[in-house]
């Protein structure tokens, strides 16, 4: 049989490793313009008891990248605010409102300071 010799076993293993490496590709990549990038977060007291006013300043990566002659009415940044019980809830609300995806994708309750976030 083909795999009976030691050399053929190593050759087959090498071919499998090369094919596995080529399959990784860029299938999970995301375009810069399709993501929302938070550059500042503001936390203030809300009018409701046990709530905070959380504001996100979101950068627009498409601003200034247009070709010559093309103009846009989009501002370089966008400010949105929510009243919520914690930062995670405000982040989830922002994800539903913003046209771009994954606002504060890697934020978790452990990223919060003080007793603002519930654990």
User: In this predicted structure, what is the pLDDT of residue 83?
Assistant: 92
Domain that holds residue 59: 32-106
Prediction pTM value:
0.58
**What local confidence, expressed as pLDDT, does residue 109 receive?**
45
Query: pLDDT-based confidence at 103, cuts 50/70/90?
Result: low
Distances (CA, A) of 17 to 2, 10, 118: 18, 10, 46
Structure confidence by residue, pLDDT tens digits, 50-102: 899 999 998 877 776 655 555 566 778 889 898 998 888 888 888 888 877 66
- 57: tokens are 């300043």
- Domain membership flag for residue 88: yes
In a domain, 15, yes or no: no
Residue 90 lies in a domain: yes
26 in a domain, yes or no?
A: no
Q: What per-residue confidence (pLDDT) applies to 118?
A: 45
Residue 112 lies in a domain: no
The reply to whether 43 falls in a domain is: yes
Answer yes or no: is 118 within a domain: no
Domain annotation covers residue 68: yes
* Counted domains in the chain: 1
Q: For residue range 8-34, what is the model confidence (pLDDT) as tens digits?
A: 888 889 999 988 887 776 766 767 677
């Amino acid at each position: 049989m083909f795999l009976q010799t030691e050399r053929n076993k190593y050759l087959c293993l090498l071919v499998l490793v090369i094919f596995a490496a080529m399959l990784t590709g860029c299938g999970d990549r995301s375009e810069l313009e399709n993501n929302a990038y938070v550059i500042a977060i503001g936390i203030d007291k809300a009018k409701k008891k046990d709530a905070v006013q959380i504001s996100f300043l979101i950068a627009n990566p498409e601003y200034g990248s247009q070709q010559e002659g093309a103009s846009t009415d989009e501002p370089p940044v966008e400010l949105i605010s929510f009243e919520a019980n914690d930062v995670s809830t405000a982040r989830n609300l922002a994800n539903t409102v913003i046209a771009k995806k994954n606002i504060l994708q890697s934020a978790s309750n452990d990223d919060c300071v003080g007793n603002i976030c519930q654990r």
